[in-house]
Chain A
Amino acid sequence: AQSVTQPDIHITVSEGASLELRCNYSYGATPYLFWYVQSPGQGLQLLLKYFSGDTLVQGIKGFEAEFKRSQSSFNLRKPSVHWSDAAEYFCAVGALFSGGYNKLIFGAGTRLAVHP
């Protein structure tokens, strides 16, 4: 069965430090992979997505993610974190559900705190 695992529930970094959020997926075929961000009191916003091609994907707000098929991973990175990056981050895989519809399978999320 398809699944997404985000091993880190909470991460705290200092402003200006680098960031890497981990995501591992289980899916039988080439996956469609996404990172969404949820700021407090807001809905989710798409940061970036990967379908095929270059395994390093650039997104909004200075984020990037790298698809590694051999490790079934799609980790999110940012070289220098800003206080406004404090939010919850969700990794998701897009799949065709058994009922025939497009389904996004979300990880449980990683909550990022940024210290000044």
Chain B
Amino acid sequence: NAGVTQTPKFQVLKTGQSMTLQCAQDMNHNSMYWYRQDPGMGLRLIYYSASEGTTDKGEVPNGYNVSRLNKREFSLRLESAAPSQTSVYFCASSEADRVGEKLFFGSGTQLSVL
């Protein structure tokens, strides 16, 4: 029962470097999400993909780009990392982008930008 798989689990970057966080789900879900978790702030939505072929900005999209590669995969890219992007990143999926849908989360990527 893999569910939602994220890679890598840990990453350290220098300011200005780029990287891509990978996410894949095996539940045939239509909707996928990227959140960031910061101490004392809960989770905030970065980008989401309601269905294959669509992506949209969430609450805190600046500095990020996403690609919905196919129904299974949704990647998050940092083009030029900044210390403010130090955070724990979670990918999630749901059957559909409806209010009240249960989200299934990956185990997270801890990113440090020096």
List residues of B whose CB falls within 8 A of some A CB. Answer: 4, 31, 40-45, 48, 50, 56-59, 90, 92, 97-108
In the assembled complex, the Cα of A23 lies from the Cα of B4 at a distance in Å of 28
* Cβ of B62 to closest chain A Cβ, rounded Å: 15
Interface contact A104-B102, CB-CB below 8 Å: no
Interface contact A109-B42, CB-CB below 8 Å: yes
In the assembled complex, the Cα of A102 lies from the Cα of B58 at a distance in Å of 10
List A101-116 residues whose CB lies under 8 Å from chain B.
Answer: 101-104, 106-109
Number of residues from A at the complex interface, CB < 8 A: 26
Residue A56 at the B interface, CB < 8 A?
no
In the assembled complex, the Cα of A51 lies from the Cα of B58 at a distance in Å of 23
Chain A interface main SS type: strand
List A1-60 residues whose CB lies under 8 Å from chain B.
Answer: 4, 9, 32, 41-46, 49, 51
B40 to chain A: closest residue by CB: A108
Interface contact B4-A43, CB-CB below 8 Å: yes
* Cβ of A25 to closest chain B Cβ, rounded Å: 12
Interface contact B43-A90, CB-CB below 8 Å: yes
Listed by A's residue number, 28 A-B pairs whose Cβ atoms lie within 8 Å are A32-B99, A41-B107, A41-B108, A42-B108, A43-B90, A43-B105, A43-B108, A44-B90, A44-B103, A44-B105, A46-B103, A49-B102, A51-B100, A92-B42, A94-B99, A94-B101, A95-B99, A96-B99, A102-B31, A102-B98, A102-B99, A103-B45, A103-B59, A104-B45, A104-B103, A107-B42, A108-B42, A109-B42
* Cβ of B96 to closest chain A Cβ, rounded Å: 8
